[in-house]
Structures are given as structure tokens and as C-alpha cells.
Amino acid sequence: MTFKPLQGAPLLVVGAGIMGTGIAQVAAQAGHAVMLFDLREGAAAQAKAQLARSLDALAAKGKLSAQDVAGTLERIEPIPSLDAAASVRLVVEAVVEKLDVKRSLLRQLEGIVGGDCVLATNTSSISVTAIANGLQQPGRLVGMHFFNPVPLMRLVEVVSGLRTDAAVAQAVHSLAGSWGKVAVHARSTPGFIVNRIARPYYAETLALLQERSAEPALLDACLRAAGFRMGPCELMDLIGHDTNFAVTQSVFEANFFDKRFAPSLVQRELVDGGLLGRKSGRGFYDHAPGAVKPSVPAFEPMELPAETLLSVHGQGAVARRLSDTLAAAGRGFEPVPDSDWVGLEIDGAQLRLTDGRAASQVGAGEVAEVVVFDLPLSRDGGAALSWAPAVQAGAAWVEAAPRWLRALGFNAQRMADAPGLVVARTVAMLINEAADAVHQGVCDEAGADAAMKLGVNYPQGPFEWLHRWGAAPVAALLDALDAHYRGERYRVSPGLRMRAWQRGMVESQDCKGDVV
């Protein structure tokens, strides 16, 4: 099947909601003649009028010229019937997220548009293969998943079903690029790229909350310190717990109830109680006017204590950071590069970088006076960093450990002794899910990295983290979590396991087991 390039071609957008109007705006700004249709009478005209007000507001702020606004609006034509769109070369549907509705619409459109018209669905979760079932030309249907708000979000997932023609997917990929978007190819599997790989970002925090390991404010602070724009709890409050829970439930069911994607009882209770986040006024946080959002205590820098018997264990960026901080303060220390753990030993007591084991497991088998600290992804001084003591540790060391962490430049935040703490287990799980997606042919590494950075504003892509951290230590941390919880959730992806066996062939030669 041969399809001509779609740049400049007339197109139809079906659905005049927020997504459909945004798609129409972007296409019109790129020079396309756009027809806009909605089943509700008058909705398309109302959407154009609202768009005019929004564009005029941008022009008033100097972000658009009056000529650009006029040109964009002139190219958008609300139509009263689909029959008026017989000549378009591309249809993008953005109707309600229901399989039967989308199938019915696209079958109707096949009787109206020409044989060379590409049909695109903006579905965020429904199988493109399933939507194509029953079409006369299933090869011309492709997913074109935009992110909200469409004019601002640069990512477009170009999703191919089993019968999508490769030329169609490539034509849409090129078109999205001409609109100023970054398009990534994806295979039609539950969640596609972003909604699949992102599940652990929410799931790990929800699991820690269910175990009562920490409060939402601490978890959010630690992950913001790692570079995420919003912590998981505040992000779920923004999205809406009903929406987030529904997506998780959909991915869980579509993956035949794979426990990696299991929804959370914590979030289910919020939904059942109507505590949906910002839109209901209450979720993890109180969003009522004047409510004070809880936060972690501010960083209080400290001088390094006077102990003299210091050893820096292990290699890699965390060990270098500890060594550099001690050297800058004029403190002598013994390097122990061949140690099997990373951290600082102080008069026999240990501050250890988490390896996925609980501090108490380390304390039971190796040394009682041990505190574990989280993966410090931030280079900024005073960034929040979680830590936990072993149950075997004495009161004096439990009191002294956070002072050492503050003296080393971290805003130490104590939490319960949960394996992998917060950042390490979350990032490891994001890497694992991305590795599994690539292993299964859902996308490639570059696509996964671009999707997560542009679709959900991650500070780095999962494979960027992996190449700096190393597959072997990530797999080892997940194995420790798997051994602790004895379930399916933390099983290592075959793709990640294979990388670990390759021992460094795909990651940086100097990663040495951490990513700072």
C-alpha cells in the first residue's frame, strides 16, 4: 500500500474536546486546512470560539502575532456533517475512549473518505489492533497519541497495530515532526510507551505508603530532589486518583493481571472515598483555599564531626563525592576501592548506599552499626535524601548518622527500613520496565528515553540512567527486592538480565554501580 506524504494535506479532526481542539490548533498552525467535527451540535463552533479567545490572549502577551492568530483560525472550519470531509487525506479521531465508539466512527468514515486517506486514533490505552478489527483497510489505521496540552507537549506516540502498514506509520511519524513534535514509534501493547513505563513511578510510592514507610511529603521531596518535577503523590493529586487508578487498572487487566501492574489498595480507598485530588479538594494533600501543604524540614548544614577513623568504601560517583567532600574539608580518610559496598565507615559504624536490601538485613548478617541511605541523584547541596537504620544499630549511631549525612551535604530524611528506600527502587523499576518494553519490541531505547522525558518530564530517560548505573547493579537491587517481597512484582526483565550478563557491553565503562 502506498501513501503520499501528508505534509500540507487537508485533514479532519473528530472530537472537539480539549484534545481534539488542541490537535486542530497544532495542525492549523502548521498550515493545514482543518475540518473540525463533533457529534454534539454546535460543539465544534464553540471549540473554535474558545480557541480564538485563547489565541487572542497569547497575542496580547506577545507570544503570537495577530497575523498568526488570524491565519490559524481561518484554516479551522467547523463542519456539521462528516460527509463534508470526503476530500481529506488524514483523519485524527479524538472521541471518547471506548472501543465500540471508535470502531463505529472509523467504519463510518471508511464510507466517506478516499482510499488513500490515513485514519489515526488518539487513543491513550485501547489496542490499535482491536480498533482496526472490521475495517475494510485496517492497514491505514495508526495510533497518533498526543499528550495534553497538545500545543505545548512535544511528544507523539505513533502506534502500530498488527495490521498497520509501515508506510502509514512512517508518514504519520514524518508529519508529526513537521508539526514541531518529537514522534516515537511504538507497538500497540497495553499502555504503549509512556503509560506503561511510568507505572512504577506511582506504584513504588503507593507500596511504601501501604507499608507506612513514610509520609507523602517525604516521598515527594526525595523524588523531586532526584530531578522529577513533581513527586508521585502531588502528581497523582493533579491527575486525579480516579483517572490514575483507571489507567493502572486498564494496564493491569490488559496484561492478564500481571502483578507488576497491580493497582494499589491505598489509591482504591482514596477513589472510593471521593478523595480524588485537586478536583475534589482533597487527595494525599488538602487543596482547600488556604490549606498549608506539609513539607520536609529545611536543610541545616553541619560541620563534619571530629571522628578521625574514616574510610570511603567502593568506587563510582557516590564514593568520589564522599571522598571529595572529605578532602575539601581537610579530613583524612582511607580509600577502600575494592570493598563490596559503597559508603563511609566511621569508627567501625557504616553509612551504606542502598543495594536493595533492608538495613536490618545487612545488620543481621554483616555489621550491626549500619545505616543505609538512598541513591543521591541530585548534585545540589541540601537535597532531600532518605535514610534508614538497621534495627540492630545502637541509639548513638542512629542519632549520629543523620548528622553525618547533613555534614556531607544531604538533607537527611529518616523513613522506615524499607528495602531500596525511595529513589533507588523507583528508578530501578522504571529502568526494568523500559528494558522489558524494548525486549518485547514495543519501542527502541531512544524512543523510550524521548517518550519519558517529553511525555512526563522525567529528568533523564530510563536508558540514560541504565547506561550510567549499569545493568548488573540494577538487576542486583531488583533481585534483593524480589527476595524480600517474594512476589512477581520485582522480577528482573529478561532484557535487563541479558544486559547484566553481558557485563558492561551496553553501559558506560566507568559507571561502577551508581548514577550520580
* Separation of alpha carbons 244 and 129, rounded Å: 24
Of the candidates 359, 353, 296, the one whose C-alpha atom is nearest the C-alpha of residue 319 is 353
> E strand or H helix at 266, and its extent?
helix 265-272
Bridge partners, residue 186, by sequence: 159
Q: Give the list of residues 6+ apart from residue 428 with CB closer than 8 angstroms, or none.
A: 356, 420, 474, 477, 478, 481
**Residue-level pLDDT at 516:** 64
Of the candidates 38, 42, 47, the one whose C-alpha atom is nearest the C-alpha of residue 18 is 47
Active site residue ranges: 124, 145, 157, 195
CA 122: distance to chain centroid? 19
Q: What is the DSSP letter of 347?
A: T
Residues of the chain with pLDDT under 70: 1-3, 503-516
Kindly report the pTM of this predicted structure. 0.94
Say whether domain 310-414 belongs to CATH 1.10.3720.10.
no
**C-alpha cell read off for 80:** 456539521
**Residue-level pLDDT at 62:** 95
CA 473: distance to chain centroid? 22
Q: Looking at the domain 11-188, which fold is it?
A: Rossmann fold (3.40.50)
Only one residue has cell 575539601, namely 328
**C-alpha cell read off for 356:** 536493595
Beta strand 383-389 with 410-414 is parallel
Q: State the burial class of residue 277 (Cβ atoms within 10 Å of its Cβ: 0-12, 13-18, 19+).
A: buried
**Residue-level pLDDT at 508:** 45
**Residue-level pLDDT at 506:** 43
Q: Looking at the domain 196-272, which fold is it?
A: N-(1-d-carboxylethyl)-l-norvaline Dehydrogenase; domain 2 (1.10.1040)
Residue ranges, CATH 3.40.50.720, the chain: 11-188
Of the candidates 41, 47, 42, the one whose C-alpha atom is nearest the C-alpha of residue 16 is 47
Contact, 216 vs 233, CB < 8 A?
Answer: yes
Residues 310-329: tens digit of each pLDDT: 999 999 999 999 999 999 99
**Residue-level pLDDT at 366:** 83
For 119, other C-beta atoms within 10 Å of its C-beta total 25
